């Protein structure tokens, strides 16, 4: 089924809901226990049925898989584990036939240490590619050049005995940072982008985009004032000299210019540094990202007061004409259904699809997938091995998708690469397809509502005062006013309304088109969308 665009004047990346797929964990087709492109291809009708307008696909490039694809050894080929370029082309075609866009994850900050560029670069100090990476001499004592720490633990500098210099890696030591100051690197990367744009991808999600450039003076980072015994050691210093440097902004502008060579493409960016810095990543004068990714909903305490404050802070931190974006899940963050519970996960879904801006969710969120419980012995994520004991393991949110209630959940015929986790019987696609009050049904209805309600795309956002931990806001256009009321508690609450309205959707999916006069009764964990019938509150 092809969904009608609600407002044809808006660019696609403003109207559509974006669905992140971690390819290892979506659908296996060949029994090796790891998801692949042909598996994904067999599920495109599901995506169309669900109503997503774009897929953001985590990396499928050739990779030694130390960081499961975020360590790339060839930017212009598909890893055999996932399939071939031909499979990729088939996938693009199948998605486009269903009016679904494809956003590819790209990783410009670093390559794998197996990438031929790095192999050459480390071969000798005189190699023409030496300056493609960030090399530095030891400090006076023979130690690393400065105090910079890898996000994945330990010094960010790795000693190369043969050429007697250190190379810099913001992440794993097997992920050396490219030297973006070198124009040759930027040209090479522009060609990588063009390679995929010509193959028909509709945009990119730029990985770790804020850390492309480091201070050329290699100055030490200052102490992090929030650091205490519970803070993971890599956060000991504030990343002043390695995050969101002005040069990084200009490199993002260059990537944007490449995108603009092709019609109708979009640039998304993973940006570091918190809400106060996010506005920088738009910039109307010198266009940067269309959508700098905002993780606020995953980082805010889950109560109406904190949410109202966080939403306000974010909206105020971005330029007036900037398009907001909201994320409910990712392969790097604990699952929402585990963090706030399955009942509140419905509230989170309603919030995601009714806030102003583009909603992004992570495959499995639509069935309320929980984190998988993974012991440290079973951990596959290097982050856990390198910085143990802080709950940083990302395997729990990377567990395979559940398509049915069978032993392997319809994900594979072999041994899944990570354990499936709990609640497979009720939290799987097949079970929820046949339940018209399931989380899956809610997601589908919310996306359908967004498609038919232009006010949810382009209407004004009007925050209201929360009542008894019920989060309240309105979306208004010339002729319509929608009230969204989200009960973030496990008790019932009555909200006083100044106007009459018609209840259009409840997160419980059991009441529809109910008239509501001056009082709106909300049951525990209930959220509603109401169409208001008279003038404003």
Q: Would you state the torsion angle of the CA atoms of residues 193, 194, 199, 203, taken in this order, to the nearest 10 degrees?
A: 50
Of the candidates 418, 417, 419, 439, the one whose C-alpha atom is nearest the C-alpha of residue 428 is 439
Residue with tokens 């990779």: 63
- The residue range among 30-38, 357-365, 414-422, 463-471 that interacts with Mg ion, by the rule CB under 5 A, is 30-38
Under rule CB under 6 A, residue 70 binds ligand NOJ: yes
Q: d(Cα 206, Cα 196) in Å, to the nearest integer?
A: 13
From the list Mg ion, ligand NOJ, none, partner contacted by residue 12 (C-beta under 5 to 8 A by kind): none
Q: d(Cα 40, Cα 24) in Å, to the nearest integer?
A: 10
Return all residues near 345 (Cβ < 8 A) that are at least 6 apart: 336, 337, 365, 368, 439
Residue 101 tokens read as 């866009």
**Shortest distance (Å) from residue 36 CB to Mg ion:** 4
Give me the helices (H) in 453-484, please: 454-458
* Binding residue for Mg ion, selected from 26, 36, 146, 370, defined by CB under 5 A: 36
Under rule CB under 5 A, residue 365 binds Mg ion: no
Q: d(Cα 334, Cα 10) in Å, to the nearest integer?
A: 32
- Closest to ligand NOJ by CB, 14 vs 331, is 331
φ/ψ bin of 51: left (φ > 0), alpha (ψ from -120 to 50), beta (otherwise): left
Strands (E), 342-452: 358-362
Under rule CB under 5 A, residue 40 binds Mg ion: no
Q: d(Cα 330, Cα 332) in Å, to the nearest integer?
A: 5
From the list Mg ion, ligand NOJ, none, partner contacted by residue 32 (C-beta under 5 to 8 A by kind): Mg ion
Yes or no: say if 45 and 433 are a contact pair by the CB < 8 Å rule: no
* Binding residue for ligand NOJ, selected from 332, 404, 422, 499, defined by CB under 6 A: 332
Q: d(Cα 499, Cα 520) in Å, to the nearest integer?
A: 10
- Closest to ligand NOJ by CB, 105 vs 453, is 105
From the list ligand NOJ, Mg ion, none, partner contacted by residue 28 (C-beta under 5 to 8 A by kind): Mg ion
From the list ligand NOJ, Mg ion, none, partner contacted by residue 70 (C-beta under 5 to 8 A by kind): ligand NOJ
From the list Mg ion, ligand NOJ, none, partner contacted by residue 298 (C-beta under 5 to 8 A by kind): none
DSSP structural state of residue 223: B
* Binding residue for ligand NOJ, selected from 15, 37, 107, 244, defined by CB under 6 A: 107
- Closest to Mg ion by CB, 132 vs 411, is 411
**Shortest distance (Å) from residue 205 CB to ligand NOJ:** 9
- Closest to Mg ion by CB, 355 vs 418, is 418
Residue with tokens 């050049």: 145
- Closest to ligand NOJ by CB, 66 vs 199, is 66
Q: d(Cα 110, Cα 117) in Å, to the nearest integer?
A: 11
* Binding residue for ligand NOJ, selected from 207, 453, 474, 526, defined by CB under 6 A: 207
* Binding residue for ligand NOJ, selected from 60, 208, 322, 328, defined by CB under 6 A: 208
- Closest to Mg ion by CB, 42 vs 124, is 42
From the list Mg ion, ligand NOJ, none, partner contacted by residue 135 (C-beta under 5 to 8 A by kind): none
Under rule CB under 5 A, residue 79 binds Mg ion: no
From the list Mg ion, ligand NOJ, none, partner contacted by residue 343 (C-beta under 5 to 8 A by kind): none
Show the site string, 154-193: x = touches ligand NOJ by CB under 6 A, - = not.
-----------------x----------------------
Q: d(Cα 342, Cα 128) in Å, to the nearest integer?
A: 55
Cβ neighbourhood burial of 371 (10 Å; 0-12, 13-18, 19+): buried
- Closest to ligand NOJ by CB, 166 vs 171, is 171
* Binding residue for Mg ion, selected from 30, 74, 254, 332, defined by CB under 5 A: 30
**Shortest distance (Å) from residue 82 CB to ligand NOJ:** 16
Under rule CB under 6 A, residue 67 binds ligand NOJ: yes
* Binding residue for Mg ion, selected from 5, 7, 10, 32, defined by CB under 5 A: 32
Q: d(Cα 467, Cα 379) in Å, to the nearest integer?
A: 43
Q: Catalytic amino acids? A: 207, 261
Distance (Å) of CA 522 to CA 242, 426, 437, 487: 47, 26, 17, 7
124: number of Cβ within 10 Å: 12
Judged by the rule CB under 5 A, the positions of this chain that interact with Mg ion are 28, 30, 32, 34, 36
Residues at the interface with ligand NOJ (CB under 6 A): 67, 70, 107, 171, 207-208, 270, 331-332
């Amino acid at each position: 089924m092809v969904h009608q665009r609600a407002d044809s004047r808006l660019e696609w990346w403003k109207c559509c809901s974006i669905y992140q797929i971690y390819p290892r964990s979506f659908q296996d087709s060949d029994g090796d226990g790891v998801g692949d492109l042909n598996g994904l291809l067999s599920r495109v009708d599901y995506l169309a049925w669900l109503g997503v307008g774009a897929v953001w696909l985590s990396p499928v490039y050739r990779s030694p898989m130390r960081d499961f694809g975020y360590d790339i050894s060839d930017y212009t080929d598909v890893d055999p584990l996932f399939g071939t370029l031909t499979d990729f082309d088939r996938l693009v075609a199948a998605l486009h036939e269903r009016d679904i866009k494809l956003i590819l994850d790209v990783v410009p900050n670093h390559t794998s240490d197996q990438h031929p560029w790095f192999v050459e670069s480390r071969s000798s100090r005189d190699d023409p590619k030496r300056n493609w990476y960030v090399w530095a001499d030891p400090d006076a004592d023979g130690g690393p050049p400065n105090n910079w720490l890898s996000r994945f633990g330990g010094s960010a500098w790795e000693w190369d005995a043969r050429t007697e210099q250190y190379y810099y890696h913001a992440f794993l030591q097997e992920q050396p940072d490219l030297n973006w100051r070198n124009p040759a690197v930027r040209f090479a990367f522009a060609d990588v982008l063009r390679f995929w744009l010509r193959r028909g991808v509709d945009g990119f999600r730029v990985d770790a985009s804020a850390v492309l450039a480091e201070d050329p003076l290699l100055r030490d980072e200052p102490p992090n004032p929030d650091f205490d015994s519970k803070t993971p050691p890599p956060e000991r210093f504030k990343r002043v000299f390695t995050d969101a440097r002005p040069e990084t902004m200009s490199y993002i502008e260059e990537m944007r210019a490449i995108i603009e060579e092709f019609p109708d493409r979009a640039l998304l960016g993973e940006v570091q540094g918190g809400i106060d810095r996010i506005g920088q990543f738009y910039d109307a004068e010198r266009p940067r990202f269309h959508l700098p990714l905002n993780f606020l909903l995953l980082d805010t305490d889950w109560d109406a007061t904190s949410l109202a404050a966080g939403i306000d802070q974010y909206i105020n931190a971005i330029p007036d004409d900037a398009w907001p974006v909201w994320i409910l899940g990712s392969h790097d963050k604990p699952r929402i259904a585990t963090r706030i519970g399955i009942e509140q996960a419905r509230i989170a879904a309603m919030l995601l699809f009714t806030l102003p801006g583009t909603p992004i969710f992570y495959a499995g969120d639509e069935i309320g997938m929980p984190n998988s419980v993974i012991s440290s012995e079973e951990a596959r994520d290097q982050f856990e091995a390198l910085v143990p004991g802080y709950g940083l393991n990302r395997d729990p949110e990377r567990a395979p998708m559940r398509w049915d209630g069978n032993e392997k959940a319809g994900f594979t015929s072999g041994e899944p690469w990570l354990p499936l986790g709990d609640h497979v019987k009720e939290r799987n696609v097949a079970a929820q397809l046949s339940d018209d009050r399931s989380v899956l049904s809610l997601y589908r209805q919310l996306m359908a509502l967004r498609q038919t309600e232009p006010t949810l795309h382009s209407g004004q956002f009007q925050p209201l005062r929360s009542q008894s931990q019920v989060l309240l806001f309105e979306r208004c256009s010339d002729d319509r006013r929608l009230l969204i009321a989200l009960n973030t508690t496990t008790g019932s609450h009555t909200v006083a309304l100044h106007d009459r309205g018609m209840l259009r959707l409840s997160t419980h999916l059991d009441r529809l088109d109910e008239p509501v006069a001056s009082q709106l009764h909300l049951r525990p964990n209930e959220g509603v969308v109401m169409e208001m019938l008279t003038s404003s509150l």
